[in-house]
Amino acid sequence: MIPSWANRKVYSLFDEFIEKTILSDNSFLTDEENIITIESLDDCINRFIINYQDGDGDYYQKIKRQFNEANYETILTFAHVNWLWSMSPSDFKSSTKKSTPRRILTELGVEKQIEFRDGLYPNGGFGDAGPSIKFRKHREISFLLLLMKQLKLDVLNNSIENTEQAKDKIAEICIESRFNRKAEQSNIIDKSVWKYIPDGRLGMFNILMHLSKPNDYEPIASDGHKDRIRWMFRKFIDDASEEVKGYNREKQIFYIREKIASITKRKDFTFYDTEIRVVWDWGGNINTYDYEFSPLSALQYKKAIVLYGPPGTSKTYSAKEIAKNAILKYHLSQCTIEEYLAIVYDKQEVNNLVKNKIHRLQLHTNYNYEDFIAGIKLTNGKTEAVKGDLLNLIDNVVSKDKYPHILILDEINRVDLSRLFGEFFSAIENRNEEIKTSVGNFTFSVPENLLIIGTMNEIDFSLERIDFALRRRFVWFPFGFSFEILKSMIKTKQEKLDPKISDSDIEKFATRCENLNKEIKKSDELGEQYQIGHTFFSEIVDIYTQYSSIQGKKPESIFKKNGATKILWDISIRPMLDAFFGNMDNQTKQSQINTLEKVYFND
């Protein structure tokens, strides 16, 4: 299935690539003929695989040695394979996709001016490939070279005559290479190719299977994701026929898809839908920021986490999503997978499930121990000890329910945490152990099902100022600016609006925002904690949609003179930077802001 978020251009480009380079010998990147031949592929294979030279240096330094004195056809063929490697993942920017084949030619010494065709570098794709495809780049590229040679051999013996047959064969080769690699020989792959097919997991197996047959293979590049999906939905396989139990992983996932679609009444669902992802993924969909361990998993193990970073980086929203996912995870353990799937797309059912289980406290400078734990209150001329918000929450709500309850402490940087928490420090470490309060002599314990999520703006309070006693009781997760989240937010905000900012302008704008934040991070006066959050940049949508009513003319590109990009700078970004630089002398401040302005407006 082609997901709704996919850029369909990647599928048509893939078909055209097959038509030009596999069914004929022509270049896809240029208008040249007789370039992608078996001879040029063999030369690439000899240099890059058979006579592989490891040694020092990065990818480009190594291929300089490997392709020393290679002819033009070989180098351009190798550039094509690198283009195919980068073309479809969403987490490769259009600029990266464009520069990848060009850099191959430059690094390998092609001096003549090459006219590359336009429109070959799509924004987005059908999903993220993740970092592994970059770490395994040599193996991924090796497989693509060998795949192209095998397809060329099949064209020569007339077993492939058109694009659809080529795509069928690509899927077969990927399946064979992934699940039958230990065999000494293959029934569908020539022995001259089979002997060099890389062992193990490759992202390109999954990417090419989906590009070739999107209705049969999921838009998932990660082998780990596919393994977890099959494992977490294994009940469907366990209850199936012996024939289904004998399927390979890909066919079993297709069988699982049909079962889920039948229960949810949604044929167009994806395994990355939040409702489904919470079943199989450790973290669900909360923030595409990269972590070695997900915030949701940490919350389940440690029961207390903090999300920290600059303002406008989705910390509060993500805290609520993590809380909801924690409740859904628990609910899944209390019912069958069929019962879970039957309600998970029903917003009212989900709202009823999480209702009164997520509790948010907006902290501020006047909120203290007496409000949170216990304090003294004057009533009818007499003083009496009263329980604070935490103790009331435990007594009246949490202790009466087996489901998890999540307390979100928003902006913990605004209070004296050591004083606010008081006995809570010990209580969250020694759960279910009664502790007496210093005011009122109340006894309380923190139950296992009370989970804590704090949020903190680093501009107001750096992590280094948090004492060790507090830091060790929480797992801390940085939330920074995200290029991908910004693009997603803009597209979501303008989904039902007209006119819309074009995809190419979104990509260009997000790149400018990312470059601005990189410059802020490098600044001695500011640094990473002063990076501007994606929610602030997403205001570009509001400015663009209001442009005609305020300016009295139809909006064009956001980059037009005095257009939306300039307005956002004037009314939001520049004033923010002015505040960030604080009491710096005016001349130096203006110089710093002017430097950042040039970065923001530079393509």
Phi/psi-derived region of residue 208, left when phi > 0, alpha when psi is between -120 and 50, beta in every other case: alpha
pLDDT grade for 465, boundaries at 50, 70 and 90: low
The 10s digit of each residue's pLDDT in 544-593 is: 988 877 877 777 889 988 889 999 999 999 999 999 888 788 888 899 99
In order, the DSSP letters of 496-527 are T-SS---HHHHHHHHHHHHHHHHHHHH-SSS-
Candidates 255, 358, 314; CA nearest to 477 is 314
- pLDDT for the residue numbered 461: 54
The arithmetic mean of pLDDT across residues 428-457, rounded, is 91
Candidates 447, 430, 235, 438; CA nearest to 332 is 235
The 10s digit of each residue's pLDDT in 502-536 is: 888 898 899 899 999 999 999 888 888 889 999 99
Contacts 24+ apart (CB under 8 A), 429-436: 429/473, 431/303
> Whole-number mean pLDDT of the chain?
90
How do 374-379 and 382-387 pair as beta strands?
A: antiparallel
Token couple for 191: 């022995």
The 10s digit of each residue's pLDDT in 78-91 is: 999 999 999 999 88
- pLDDT for the residue numbered 285: 46
pLDDT grade for 467, boundaries at 50, 70 and 90: low
- pLDDT for the residue numbered 98: 94
pLDDT above 90 for 478: no
- pLDDT for the residue numbered 459: 66
The 10s digit of each residue's pLDDT in 362-371 is: 999 899 999 9
pLDDT grade for 382, boundaries at 50, 70 and 90: confident
The 10s digit of each residue's pLDDT in 121-176 is: 998 889 888 888 888 999 999 999 999 999 999 999 999 999 999 999 999 999 99
Higher-confidence position of 355 and 603: 355
- pLDDT for the residue numbered 552: 74
Q: Which domains does the chain possess?
A: 9-212 (no CATH), 222-272 (no CATH), 299-478 (3.40.50), 483-601 (no CATH)
Q: Contact at 8 Å (CB) between 224 and 246?
A: no
In order, the DSSP letters of 530-548 are GPPPHHHHTTHHHHHHHHH
pLDDT above 50 for 252: yes
- pLDDT for the residue numbered 111: 79
pLDDT over 70 percentage in the chain: 96
| Exposure string over 424-453, b if 16+ CB within 10 A, otherwise e | bbebbeeeeeebebebbebebebbebbbbb
The 10s digit of each residue's pLDDT in 282-341 is: 654 444 445 557 888 889 999 999 999 888 888 998 899 899 999 999 999 999 999 999
pLDDT above 90 for 77: yes
The residues pairing with 385 across neighbouring beta strands, listed in sequence order, are 376
- Residue 339 Cα to chain centre, angstroms: 29
The arithmetic mean of pLDDT across residues 57-61, rounded, is 90
Candidates 122, 212, 220, 134; CA nearest to 166 is 212
Q: Is 22 helix (H, G, I), strand (E, B) or coil?
A: helix
- pLDDT for the residue numbered 373: 93
The arithmetic mean of pLDDT across residues 165-192, rounded, is 95
Distance in angstroms (rounded) separating the CA atoms of residues 197 and 144: 10
The 10s digit of each residue's pLDDT in 226-248 is: 999 999 999 999 999 999 999 99
What number of CA atoms fall less than 13 Å from residue 45's CA on the CB side? 22
